[in-house]
Each structure stands twice: as structure tokens, then as C-alpha cells.
Amino acid sequence: MRDLGRLGESIFSAWCADAGLIPNDSSAADVTGWDFYVEFPFSSSGGPMDLHRGPCECKVQVKSTDKRKRSLAIKLSNLRRLVTAPMPAFFLFLEFDGGSGVERAYLVHVGEDIISRVLKRIRELGERVALNKKTMTISYGEAEQLPVASGNALREKIVEYVGEDLAKYVSDKSDLLSSAGFEDGCAQMRFTTEGAQNLQDLIDVSIGAKESVPVSSVKGFYRRFGIEDENPFLSLKDGRMEMPSLSPTAVGVIRFKEDVFSVGADFPARLYVSPFNSSVPREMARMRVESDFFDICLNPYTSAAVYNFSFGAGASAGLKQFRDLLIFVGLIASARKKLNCELEFEGYPLLEFTLKGSKGEFVYEKELEALECAMRLASFFDLGSDVKISLEELVKYADVLHYMDRALNLKGAFRVEFGVEGDDFDSSMPVACVVMISVPLGGNVLGAIISVKGNVLESEGGRYTLLSTDVEVEKKLVTPTGRDIQKDALRGVLDSVAEKYSSTFSVVMMEA
């Protein structure tokens, strides 16, 4: 009577020898879960980028058969050893069809599908079950068949699964082993909250609208493949529930519009939807929309909303976007009309709701005017459309933005008062006053050298009044914020402007 098992193992050893592989057989396959530990030769050239890579290694269990059932029950104890082994593992099924030679060979990779199935089955059986008395069926078919029943075909297929970098394969398998079954989380908490207000507070905590809520009878259970441990890892009589590191349910935009037909303004936003919404009455359901400038809590069924506009430290937005936001804040504060809002988040239908006016005081008139000035300056200096500004910058530089915008857009007759040092000023000649003004904006310092020309009248105390209708921007200056200004270069520009008028004007260099 022929020993089909030994026949298959001897053919496998011959295949390895033919393909340049080293098969190390196991003397206790029923215990180790594998028949052969196979070593490959070095495949790298030893160049600088792959010198550190080791050769491929793997474990192979050889199964020989005369049947074409294309499936085999394997002990779970053996499967567990194979799936948890750091190195690659394979089943090689050899079909002999009653003869002495292999007719067909099938290589089954112990990959993600088998690893997850085995771990899940062991989890379902529990810790008290003897795994060597339980089996799992491993199936194979055309997808696993080697193109030729030979050692070289076997070698090529193994390399195809493992790749050229064994260390990466081992790392990826380790990650898979540690994460399989935790796709829906690694633990489940059970607790009790008493009273309608505490329940509402719990919902608010789950969307980041409140910091904590009192709870009782708290128990935590580890959970894998949807199966909980029998014993809790956490058990408390009472405590406070916090959710400090919430991740948004989705990201998208919120759009504010004066009416349904207006273009509106979009703002990046983060959406938080309470996981308790499906378990509470509809009137208690909550979702939250968070941005750098506002926070809106609303009921997804009734669209009732509570909002809070805030301008946190360091939060910035594009000039037009920031201006539109302040305009909408003003509309709400004036209580003249309702503000239309639209939520667009991936995976969710468009949600529309309205915000009602609060009859509050709008305190950002000056900043809104400064934003208008900043937009004109950004256009004048060709800064493009991506200039951003924060509320802190607006408050700090509002007066300078107003001043510079006005100076660059002077129209009609105006006058300039100034004093001079020294005795070489000739007031009988036309006068050209040269001044440089600057303001930080959009990561740059914007500067302009301006000339104001006209005739002067002498005033009391040695001062003069220039009457003019002639203003000219002689030079635009743009320097990245934080970069040292080249004083010699700046002085050269100022001197060239002064030289331009020195032959026909008395030139006065002014300080802004």
C-alpha cells in the first residue's frame, strides 16, 4: 500500500531542490502545523538600496490526495500556529489521481481571509475548547492552481505573494493580526444615566457640545469579532462620562445665504452626529457643525438650531470669506431676517435650516470696514485670491489698513501739513512730499512709496501746508513677513524717487 503523504513530501523536496530552495522538514508536523520550513536564496544584488533585505522564508504544509474534492478539514490548533506565525505560510495541495506523479498542484496562501476566519472561529469557540479537536475547511480551486506542477512554478507563486521585501510582509501581517476583528472597535461600554436632562447631556457630550455627564453602573468589555468577553475590564458604581478626543463623523462645508437664490459663502466644517440619535426620542436627537468661527447644534429632524459665533485665537480665513461671515453675523445680530443655511457633507443628503436673528449688538463694524480695505489692498498689490487674515490681525491693524487704503485712493483736492528740519527748504518752488506707508497682510508686509505734489503755504511755527490734487504711487513694495528688510535697497528706492523730482521741486521726505 503506497504512502501518499510521504510521496507528496518527497516530491515537494525534489521540487525545492530543482528550484534552488532549501526544504527543512518538521519531525512533528501535527504539533507545529507545518511540514516544511523553506529557505530561499538571496534575490537582491547587494546594492545600496537592498543590501539590508533578507531572503524569503516561509512555512508550507503539504497535503496529498487522489480525490478532486478541492477542500480539506484542518485542525484549528494547526491553523492557529500557521496564521499567527510571523513569516509567510502556505498549504500546498497535490493531486495524484491514483498515479505516482503530481497531476495538479494548488498553493493556498494563509492570507487575510484565512487569518480572519481562523481567529474569528477560535473567538467563537471560546477559551475552554480544545482546538486540536476542532477543524476548519480550507478550500482551493482554479485561482490557486499552479500553471505547471513544478518547483519553479511553486517558487514564482510564493514570491508573488510575499514580494521582494520579507520584512515588509512580516510587518503587514503583524498589523493584520493585531487589528483583525477590531474593525468596529475593541471595547463596548455599558452604563446608566438617570433623568431626561442627563440623557440630553449625554447626547451633547457625544457630539462635543458638553464636557461630561454623570453616569452609574459603568462596565467595559473587550470585544473582538463582535464577541464580548465574559468578564469586564472596567467596573464602576458611578462616575462621569467624558469623550475628549472625538473624531468628526464627516467633513464638508456649511453655506450661509441671505435667501434661497443668493450665492452665499462656504466655510469648511466638521460634522458630529450623536450615536444615540437612533435610540432616543426625535426631539432629543442632536448633531453639531463645528468650524473655526462658529459652532451650531441642531436637531436633524426639526432643524431647530442653537448657534455660537466665535473667532478663536489664530483662526484665519480668506478675505472675502471672512467679510461674508461678518456680514452674516451682522444680519443675525440685527434680527432683520432669518439666515438660510445649507450643510453638504459626504455621505449625507443636503440639509437645509434657518438661523433666527438674536437682536444682539453687532460689534464688528470697524473690522468689517477694515476687511473691505484689505480686499482692495490685496487687489492693488496683486496678491491673488488666497490671502488670509485673522480677527486678531484685523483688530490690531484696522486703523493702518484704513489709512493705507485711503492714501492709495485719494481723490480731489486735499492738504498736507508738515514741518522741515534745516535751512535748505525753498517754499517758493513747487513741493513734492515723498512718504512710505506699510501694513502687514496675508503673510507679507505691503508698502507703497507715494508722492504728493503742489504748492505750499507757510503756517505758524515754521510749519507748511501743501495744497494738492496730484498723488502718485511711485513704487509698490512686497516683503514676506519676518524677512529682514534690506535697508540699503529701500534707501536706494527712496533716493531714486527724490532724484526724480529734485530738479523742479523742493523734495520733502516724510515719515508716515
**Grid cell for residue 105:** 498542484
Going by C-alpha positions, the residue among 265, 273, 270 that lies closest to residue 252 is 270
Residue 46: the pLDDT is 65
Distance CA 405, CA 377 (A): 7
| Inside any domain, residue 376 | no
| Inside any domain, residue 103 | yes
> Is 221 in the same domain as 262?
no
**Cα atoms in the Cβ-side hemisphere of radius 13 Å centred on 404:** 28
> Is 25 in the same domain as 127?
yes
**DSSP H or E stretch at residue 503:** none
Residue 481: the pLDDT is 86
Residue corresponding to grid cell 468577553 = 229
Whole-number Cα distances in Å, 455 to 219, 293, 429, 469: 87, 50, 7, 10
Distance CA 478, CA 448 (A): 9
| Inside any domain, residue 388 | no
Task: Please answer whether residues 408 and 448 qualify as being in contact, where contact means their C-beta atoms are separated by less than 8 angstroms.
Answer: yes
Distance CA 66, CA 94 (A): 8
DSSP 115-130: HHHHHHHHHHH-TTS-
> Is 33 in the same domain as 132?
yes
Distance CA 436, CA 6 (A): 95
| Inside any domain, residue 340 | yes
Residue 118: the pLDDT is 96
Distance CA 130, CA 112 (A): 24
> Is 144 in the same domain as 271?
no
> Is 471 in the same domain as 338?
no
Provide the Cα torsion 377, 378, 381, 383; round to 10°: 170
Q: Give the count of domains, the chain.
A: 4
Alpha helices (runs of H) in 277-364, residue ranges in sequence order: 319-334
Last residue of a domain, one of 363, 386, 418: 363
CATH at residue 87 = 3.40.1350.10
Task: Please answer whether residues 386 and 429 qualify as being in contact, where contact means their C-beta atoms are separated by less than 8 angstroms.
Answer: no
| Inside any domain, residue 81 | yes
> Is 268 in the same domain as 231?
no
Distance CA 83, CA 89 (A): 7
Residue 45: the pLDDT is 63
> Is 427 in the same domain as 351?
no
83 DSSP β-pair partners: none
Last residue of a domain, one of 219, 242, 265: 242
Quote the domain boundaries for residue 170: 4-179
Task: Please answer whether residues 34 and 26 qualify as being in contact, where contact means their C-beta atoms are separated by less than 8 angstroms.
Answer: yes
Distance CA 455, CA 468 (A): 7
Distance CA 435, CA 468 (A): 15
Cα maximum dimension of the chain: 130
> Is 498 in the same domain as 413?
yes
| Inside any domain, residue 280 | yes
Distance CA 268, CA 256 (A): 12
> Is 323 in the same domain as 264?
yes
Last residue of a domain, one of 146, 162, 179: 179
Distance CA 125, CA 131 (A): 9
> Is 348 in the same domain as 459?
no
| Inside any domain, residue 402 | no
Task: Please answer whether residues 328 and 317 qualify as being in contact, where contact means their C-beta atoms are separated by less than 8 angstroms.
Answer: no
Going by C-alpha positions, the residue among 43, 3, 42, 9 that lies closest to residue 23 is 9
User: What are φ and ψ of residue 390, in 5° steps?
Assistant: -110, 165
Residue corresponding to grid cell 523734495 = 507
Three-class SS state of 40: coil
Number of other residues whose CB lies within 10 A of the CB of residue 244: 8
Query: 400-423 b/e with 16+ CB inside 10 Å = b?
Result: bbbebbebbeeeeeeebebebeee
Distance CA 89, CA 59 (A): 5
Residue 467: the pLDDT is 85
| Inside any domain, residue 151 | yes
- For the chain, 512 residues long, give each residue's pLDDT as a single digit of tens: 578 888 989 999 999 999 999 999 876 555 555 789 999 988 766 667 667 777 899 999 999 998 889 999 999 999 999 999 999 999 999 999 888 889 999 999 999 999 999 999 999 998 889 999 999 999 999 999 999 999 999 999 999 999 988 999 999 999 999 999 999 888 888 889 889 999 999 999 999 999 999 999 989 999 999 999 888 988 989 999 899 889 999 999 998 887 778 877 788 999 999 999 999 999 999 999 998 888 899 998 887 888 887 776 667 888 888 888 888 788 777 656 678 888 999 999 998 888 777 666 777 888 889 999 999 999 999 987 788 888 888 889 999 999 899 888 877 777 888 888 877 888 889 999 899 999 999 889 999 999 999 898 988 877 888 888 788 899 999 998 888 878 888 899 999 999 999 999 999 988 76
90 DSSP β-pair partners: 60, 109
Please say whether the dihedral angle defined by the alpha carbons of residues 155, 161, 164 and 165, taken in this order, is positive or negative.
negative
- Cα 278 to chain centroid distance, Å, stands at 28
> Is 317 in the same domain as 350?
yes
> Is 72 in the same domain as 150?
yes
Rounded (5°) CA angle 232-233-235: 70
Distance CA 51, CA 45 (A): 7
Please say whether the dihedral angle defined by the alpha carbons of residues 327, 385, 310 and 251, taken in this order, is positive or negative.
positive
Residue 276: the pLDDT is 92
DSSP 277-302: GGGS-GGG--EEEE-SSEEEEE-TTT
